[in-house]
Structure 1
Amino acid sequence: MDTPTIPSPPASPASVPAAPPGPAEAPVGGAPHRPLGAPVSTPPAEKTYPPFPLDDPAYQVFIDSLDYLKAEDIARVEDAFAYAEAAHRSQRRISGEPYITHPLAVAGAVAEWRLDATAIMAALLHDVLEDTGASKAELTERFGKPVADLVDGLSKLDKIEFSSYQEAQAENFRKMLLAMARDIRVILIKLTDRLHNMQTLGSMRPDKRRRIANETLEIYAPIANRLGLNKVYRELQDLSFMNLHPMRFNVLKKAVKAARGNRRELLTRILDGIQERMKDRHIEAQVFGREKSLYSIYKKMVEKRLTFSQVLDIYGFRVVVADVSTCYLALGALHSLYKPLPGKFKDYIAIPKANGYQSLHTTLIGPYGTPIEVQIRTEEMHHLAQEGVASHWLYKEEADGSSAELQNQTHKWLQSLLELQNTAGDSAEFYEHVKIDLFPDEVYVFTPKGKILTLPKGATAVDFAYAVHTDIGNRCVAAKINYELAPLRTELQNGDQLEIVTAAHANPNPAWLSYVKTGRARSKIRHFLKTQQNEESAALGERLLNQELKSLGIEPADVPAAAWDELMRESGNKPIKDIYADIGLGKRLASVVARRLMSREENAAGGDTLRPGPIVIHGTEGMAVTFATCCRPIPGDPIVGSIRKGQGLEIHTHDCPVIRKSRRLEPQKWIDVEWAAQPGKLFAVPIRVEAQHQRGVLAKIATEIAEAGSNIENVSMEESGGGLYTSIHFTILVSHRVHLAAVMRGLRHIPEVIRIIRERDGDDPHTTAPFSPYVKH
């Protein structure tokens, strides 16, 4: 098309921002940032450069690529280019090129996807808010709100640069994904921006190249894969590999080139054989070879510890046919040509991948025993496989059905990101959850009604429960996998059918966090546990504060509302429940809060205070009250409590050897506590039984413990006395001290038992415990 006339931007500062003073250099992804506290130096005089020539071949190719847009949209794009070129005119890339070449390349890549004029304009302008003096208001006035919002969304991503600080990286990552959730074009532009930066990393220092390449491999490449952008995904991986391990990259590149020559005759023979078989079966198909990316070859060598010569499937073949039914005909034709490798067939047409990818995959045994990977797909599937979510624009006339489904899947994933953001505690936690979901080596499982769910490899029944519904996950107690009961931690396999068993009073177990795989499940479990801990801590904090108020002679109901209002204002407008939780978690002292409420600080050491009554412990308080593992207190033991900051109230026995020094030196940290009349749970108690080393003695002891109404939670054994005796360590569950006495009484009647001791950390094994050890004479 003819070269358009580019309108010159107005010369007033209000319309065309001046480039920021400073070195003629713009880093990857944004402008340089002065570290906090660094001295501000006088900037050097700004350099001036001539305008970017409109007859430059790069600009001409870009304009020619816009032939799918209307004339008025092309004029708007030209105006955006003129504005961006004027804004960046005083800037140069590290390579020395005019900075505008970067936005121009990004916009050109966006145009290849046939995105609308708004997206192309945003690509041209994506750095003006960060690198120049332009404002969002100016962009809104000149180009409209949709363009300004896109540019603003892209610019926010770079306000916190990636660095060695994980929190900064996590915050930037969070902002990027949330901007993407609002408008998918944000991430499409951002990925083309990162791709061009990776293509031009050569001018940067090696340490910066490695840092940016690592970020790309860890974050941007997985996002491209999750959105089905296969071409971008592969190129980002290879460019990252090249910059992280340049020597390995070059050695592997030479090896692949050599292998390509050595195997040419074999590959030609296989290609001709496939084409001939398709003709024999009257199947119209495009057949072409494909070469694995260097990074995927390298990854396979590392993960499976192979040499290059052992990686036989460097080359594969792709068969593209007219429709879905022909895909299966082509599969049958191939299996009659070469024998299929058992267990290596995957039907991604019937069950698409999470990113919308569809194909039939099969591995055949070719000539000389060479394994051949073949992908069979339709033309529409091929477009989706290459361009993913971008195919909505690129092939929307040919692929409306599949593209709409892919858009729907992408929308669901983006909504799940927003849900994760709402339940995650901070940016680092959000980053951790989403990174898990960005590396989905999937398994496909079925609900009882036949619905297919896609989960990451290694996912468990708990992940499945949370994928179905949060309430199902929170209340699950067991799972039926293929109609048989199985533990919740069971890893799922392709094709499993699951049914989750729930109970109304069940709650998530903190141990689930050690084996769940999905970010959703991990986030929901943590959210529940935090909420539960806050509720339990608030209940404990209220009891502690009420106790302190009563010790001051004040009934809690008599505290003036104005006193609470003042306290909440001083606490940053925290609600009362949060103040209670802070007390329960040890972040605030109940005595200080009580005196602040009553303005009685002057009487803190006065004689009008009463001795506080003890806190009553039921044993069912949850995470707000913990029982020390050093002494394992049980109902009936004299006990004392200590508030541990951030962990609530910890209960010890009065004579626990671990706390003797602390109780003597810091008595103010300890609170009197006592057991409720009817405690509500079983308690684990470690005991040691020394018995003669004879056959069947363990069975006798276990039977006696069971008959006493107790249960064995753990058992271990060791020889003593030169093999004449055995020390058996049990952890048993009892309801109270009297119950423990009954268990030990029963064990005394076993003839082989020599000695019984209740064990505690810090005790000498030969000294007495709270229960005097029984020694048979």
Structure 2
Amino acid sequence: MMSREGSEPPSTPPSVKPAGPATPAAATAADQPAAPAGAAANTETPATPAQAAGDAALSAAALNASEDDPAFRVFIDSLSYLKPDEIALVREAYRFSQMAHRGQTRLSGEPYVTHPLAVAGALAEWHMDAQAVIAALLHDVMEDTAFSKAEITARFGKAVAELVDGVSKLDKIETQSYQEAQAENFRKMLMAMARDLRVVLIKLADRLHNLQTMSAVRVDKRRRIARETLEIYAPIANRLGLNKLYRELQDISFAHIHPRRAEVLSKALRAARGNRRELLKRILDGIRGRMSEAQIEAQVFGREKSLYSIYRKMVEKRLSFSQVLDIYGFRVVVRDVPTCYLAMGALHALYKPVPGKFKDYIAIPKGNGYQSLHTTLIGPYGTPIEVQIRTQSMHHVAQEGVASHWLYKDSEQSGADLQVRTHKWLQSLLELQNTAGDTAEFFENVKVDLFPDEVYVFTPKGKIMSLPKGATAVDFAYTVHTDIGNRCVAARINYELMPLRTELTNGDQVEIITAAHANPNPAWLSYVKTGRARGKIRHFLKTMQNDESAALGESMLDQELRTLGITPAEVPVASWEGLVRAAGSKSMKEVYTDIGLGRRLAAVVARRLLAHEELPQVERGAPRPSLVIRGAQGMAVQIAPCCQPIPGDPIIGSIRKGQGLIIHSHDCPMIRKARSNDPKKWIDVEWEPEVGKLFDVRIRVTAENVRGVLGRIATAISEGGSNIEGVGMEEKAPGLYTSLNFTVQVADRAHLAQVMRILRRIPEVVRIARERG
């Protein structure tokens, strides 16, 4: 996501520290050797006298060059909300940034310092604190110059250095693919963002300015950066409630990806604006008049849908531009919450409301803190009108999201609530990071959570929970608590038992039924929607598989050692420790896991373990001990679906890399060729006696095609103590015989024989056989 292309690299190599200004003292300061990376990362290191003198000269020289810059003067004027000493520190940061980027230019030919100045200006518009503004001025210094985090810490403090480090990208590793690099960079930014929200605000301002100034960038790179913005940065802005920035990022990205479409649509929008001017004025005057009659103080203004949202609606609903009727909407901003509902009543008396088009986001705010009443009315000439009604505080939060916490004093409570919501979301990102198997998986899970088209459901105690559209009962369970998700077996939705895969809708009351010994089902991954649920399920399954694979691997190594005439207890401790070191593993359990998953051969590991021992002479032709397995071994041992062996069948095992041990029957037709081609991958196994475990097996029953025969066969199977898992039907000869294919559950081979004997007693049954292959 954060490739160097996305921030337009300076023209000078970042590995060379730029020369300072022309004065000797300044040059001395600029040419000082960089401190070791991270040397002062955790302390406020004072500047040396020489450094202080050099900095003073540098500041004087840089000041002469920068104070005349109109953009700089506008920027400084925008900082009037800061204290004088803070503004002085911001000036110093600008001089330092100008010196650090000296000689560097953007692809457009402008001095590179114009970019950090624009980013800092965006943060000043949000009234961010001095630390954030300084970090914005320095956000590319660590990445594009030779100045280190330690030097920034020494000059501007640890907090600023941490913000700059959070925004800075990781150096690309040569072996990484583009996708791996962007996923890893995105992970780093989100982790920094979870520690300090200001990091992402700087990053979003950085991305906006880069999009606005990409005319000199190659077209293919421009489009790729724009797509990344639509995929990640715009949704983050939306998730943080930064609606104004969200719309800007979308519209500019759309223009870069589809310039011709954006141009045509923009012209059509301008034409529509002129054609509908009288209609819009009439509606505005009508709403204002109605508010006045109802003695409601209100600001009423029209709003235009963003270009990208119009385009997306046209594509998703396959509409022409003329068919998009709700291009314009209206906002009514009032004094307080009760007045919002009074205003809505007044509007419903003015124009007829459209049934089912009312949404109360005041009582139930969106996940990003957005609050408003939404209603759609039928206006003059049957024109649908969308109206949003909110307080001034809600309007500030709707436009600026988390930035409103710094920007508006009158929205302090709303801003505080949004800060709490945002903090919870960021904590959930940290949880995802801890449970994700790798960066790519984490990246995938976060992307799911960035498109939250939400539904609102209730717990049995009446608590409201928001979930992405399409979320299931399993998503709900994991949102409540990880243990609830891991142990869920059923759901009661609106007091009715429903499958766990049931998609939830607005207003559902959901109760999760759990069982102490239940575990997540891998099939859940095919329908869960939230990143949290996906991450928790994968984490549990991987942990369970590793534990089971370690137990299987230990058994397999034990078998190999016994084949060589030695028991594990007789192997010296030093040999075990040497094996772990040689394998590059952290522990013997990791070695066992690798064996159980087929990543290492037990025979090879056993011989390496005994490489320095006197091996006993094993009698040629001596019987090789079989590996004893249990039918309920779990994920580490799988029953082959081709032959479906059951206890009592002679069996053989095959180790498949990453899958564990696959059990086949000895006479399985599917493995004959594989056994002869690679006999080393096959091991002898035998069943361990086990009570209560049932195995699936397929049988084919050919019977006369008469009324009621299927019921009699099903009854016979039940009398034999077996369950029917599946049934299929196939006509052998129309009107004479029918072939019935059953999947039944039995304990072992003897149990199957008993079921088949009972079936043979039915007069209509003419043939019965076990199906294989």
1:71 aligned residue: 84
1:11 aligned residue: 26
**Alignment RMSD, CA only?**
2.3
- Measure how far apart 1:218 and its partner are: 0.4
Q: Name which of structure 1's ranges 698-707 and 187-196 shifts more when overlaid on structure 2.
A: 698-707
1:362 aligned residue: 375
Q: Can you list the C-alpha shifts for 1:431-451, whole angstroms capped at 9, x where unaligned?
A: 011000000001111111111
Distance 1:393 1:161, change over 3 A: farther
Distance 1:10 1:753, change over 3 A: farther
Q: Which SS does the other structure have where 1:674 is aligned?
A: strand
Q: Can you list the C-alpha shifts for 1:493-531, whole angstroms capped at 9, x where unaligned?
A: 111111111111011011111111100000000000000
Distance 1:183 1:337, change over 3 A: same
- Measure how far apart 1:157 and its partner are: 5.0
2:496 aligned residue: 484
Distance 1:126 1:693, change over 3 A: same
Q: Name which of structure 1's ranges 420-429 and 199-208 shifts more when overlaid on structure 2.
A: 199-208
Aligned 1:293-332 pairs, distance under 5 A:
293-332=306-345
Aligned 1:20-419 pairs, distance under 5 A:
53-156=66-169, 165-395=178-408, 397-419=409-431
Instruction: Name the CA distance, whole Å, in 2 between partners of 1:158 and 1:64.
Output: 36
2:611 to 577, 581, 599: 599
Q: 2:386 is matched by which residue type in structure 1?
A: E
Instruction: Name the CA distance, whole Å, in 2 between partners of 1:162 and 1:302.
Output: 39
Aligned 1:477-556 pairs, distance under 5 A:
477-556=489-568
Q: Which SS does the other structure have where 2:168 is aligned?
A: helix
2:564 and 2:616 in contact (8 A); partners too: no
Q: Can you list the C-alpha shifts for 1:209-242, whole angstroms capped at 9, x where unaligned?
A: 1100010000100000111111111110111111
Q: Name which of structure 1's ranges 752-761 and 537-546 shifts more when overlaid on structure 2.
A: 752-761
1:18 and 1:133 in contact (8 A); partners too: no
Distance 1:452 1:10, change over 3 A: farther
1:618 and 1:679 in contact (8 A); partners too: no
Q: Does 1:716 align with 2:731?
A: no
Q: Which SS does the other structure have where 1:574 is aligned?
A: coil
Q: Structure 1: any 5+ residue segments left out of the alignment?
A: 1-5, 20-48, 762-777
Q: Name which of structure 1's ranges 83-92 and 534-543 shifts more when overlaid on structure 2.
A: 83-92
Number of matched pairs: 726
- What's the % identity of the aligned pairs? 72
Q: 1:652 is matched by which residue type in structure 2?
A: H
1:289 and 1:317 in contact (8 A); partners too: yes
2:720 and 2:755 in contact (8 A); partners too: yes
1:668 to 680, 684, 687: 680
1:702 to 709, 714, 718: 714
- Measure how far apart 1:340 and its partner are: 1.1
Q: 1:120 is matched by which residue type in structure 2?
A: V
Q: 1:136 is matched by which residue type in structure 2?
A: K
Q: 1:254 is matched by which residue type in structure 2?
A: K
1:356 and 1:384 in contact (8 A); partners too: yes
Instruction: Name the CA distance, whole Å, in 2 between partners of 1:658 and 1:737.
Output: 21
2:565 and 2:618 in contact (8 A); partners too: no
Q: 1:500 is matched by which residue type in structure 2?
A: I
Q: 2:487 is matched by which residue type in structure 1?
A: R
Q: 2:68 is matched by which residue type in structure 1?
A: D
Q: 2:289 is matched by which residue type in structure 1?
A: E
- Measure how far apart 1:160 and its partner are: 7.0
Distance 1:14 1:615, change over 3 A: farther
1:77 and 1:117 in contact (8 A); partners too: yes
2:63 and 2:95 in contact (8 A); partners too: no
Instruction: Name the CA distance, whole Å, in 2 between partners of 1:520 and 1:413.
Output: 11
- Measure how far apart 1:563 and its partner are: 1.4
- Measure how far apart 1:623 and its partner are: 0.5
2:585 and 2:591 in contact (8 A); partners too: no
Q: Which SS does the other structure have where 1:86 is aligned?
A: helix
TM-score, with normalisation over the residues of structure 2? Answer: 0.90
- Measure how far apart 1:603 and its partner are: 5.2
Instruction: Name the CA distance, whole Å, in 2 between partners of 1:537 and 1:545.
Output: 12
1:760 aligned residue: 772
- Measure how far apart 1:643 and its partner are: 1.3
Instruction: Name the CA distance, whole Å, in 1 between partners of 2:464 and 2:173.
Output: 39
Q: Does 1:622 align with 2:622?
A: no
Aligned 1:468-479 pairs, distance under 5 A:
468-479=480-491
Q: 2:693 is matched by which residue type in structure 1?
A: K
1:632 to 628, 633, 644: 644
- Measure how far apart 1:17 and its partner are: 8.1
- Measure how far apart 1:614 and its partner are: 1.2
Q: Which SS does the other structure have where 1:478 is aligned?
A: strand
1:649 aligned residue: 661
Instruction: Name the CA distance, whole Å, in 2 between partners of 1:9 and 1:445.
Output: 68
Instruction: Name the CA distance, whole Å, in 2 between partners of 1:122 and 1:269.
Output: 48
Q: Which SS does the other structure have where 2:699 is aligned?
A: strand
Q: Name which of structure 1's ranges 719-728 and 59-68 shifts more when overlaid on structure 2.
A: 719-728
1:39 aligned residue: none
Instruction: Name the CA distance, whole Å, in 2 between partners of 1:410 and 1:161.
Output: 35
1:27 aligned residue: none
Q: 1:182 is matched by which residue type in structure 2?
A: R
Distance 1:275 1:604, change over 3 A: farther
1:583 to 595, 599, 623: 595
Instruction: Name the CA distance, whole Å, in 1 between partners of 2:503 and 2:173.
Output: 38
Instruction: Name the CA distance, whole Å, in 1 between partners of 2:376 and 2:707.
Output: 57
Instruction: Name the CA distance, whole Å, in 2 between partners of 1:466 and 1:351.
Output: 21
1:36 aligned residue: none
Q: 2:151 is matched by which residue type in structure 1?
A: E
1:119 and 1:185 in contact (8 A); partners too: yes
Instruction: Name the CA distance, whole Å, in 2 between partners of 1:628 and 1:201.
Output: 57
Q: Structure 2: any 5+ residue segments left out of the alignment?
A: 1-20, 35-61
1:768 aligned residue: none
2:52 aligned residue: none
- Measure how far apart 1:600 and its partner are: 5.5
Instruction: Name the CA distance, whole Å, in 2 between partners of 1:16 and 1:262.
Output: 63
1:88 and 1:128 in contact (8 A); partners too: yes
- Measure how far apart 1:695 and its partner are: 3.2
Q: Does 1:686 align with 2:710?
A: no
Q: 1:233 is matched by which residue type in structure 2?
A: Y
